[in-house]
């Protein structure tokens, strides 16, 4: 049930408390435990946040070898196409010698937030 919350909202990040609120009858401790297991198994990725930990669905079969971009306003995360990710990664290595990890997260403002709309 916890995984289904994430799978049905693949572009949205959730805290454990938010997931618990969507699934009455499942204890918050259970949600934390399952989120940790799902993260370890590759089904969830931790999304950088200055506050409470956020997690988002990650399909382990199709979510590797590329970068991600997060909207700093609404928190939505998108996958950057593999070919674009490799160009960005190569440019960063060439420019400063810094190698990005495949799970690296870039931040910006999504089109909907720039236009003042909900994504």
Whether the pLDDT of residue 13 is over 90: the answer is no
CATH fold, domain 68-114, is Dna Ligase; domain 1 (3.30.1490)
Say if residue 94 is exposed, middle or buried (CB neighbours under 10 Å; 0-12, 13-18, 19+). exposed
CATH 1.10.10.10 fits 2-57, yes or no: yes
pLDDT 10s digits, 45-93: 887 677 788 888 877 666 666 788 888 888 777 888 888 888 988 899 9
What share of the chain in percent tops pLDDT 70? Answer: 89
Domain boundaries, the chain: 2-57, 68-114
CA distance 39 to 46: 8
């Amino acid at each position: 049930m916890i995984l289904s919350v994430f799978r049905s909202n693949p572009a949205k990040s959730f805290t454990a408390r938010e997931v618990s609120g969507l699934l009455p009858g499942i204890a918050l401790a259970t949600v934390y435990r399952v989120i940790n297991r799902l993260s370890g198994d590759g089904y969830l990725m931790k999304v950088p946040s200055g506050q409470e930990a956020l997690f988002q669905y990650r399909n382990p079969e199709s979510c590797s070898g590329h970068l991600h971009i997060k909207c700093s306003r609404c928190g939505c995360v998108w996958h950057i196409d593999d070919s674009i990710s490799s160009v960005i990664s190569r440019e960063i290595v060439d420019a400063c010698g810094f190698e990005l990890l495949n799970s690296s997260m870039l931040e910006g403002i999504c089109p909907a937030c720039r236009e003042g709309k909900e994504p």
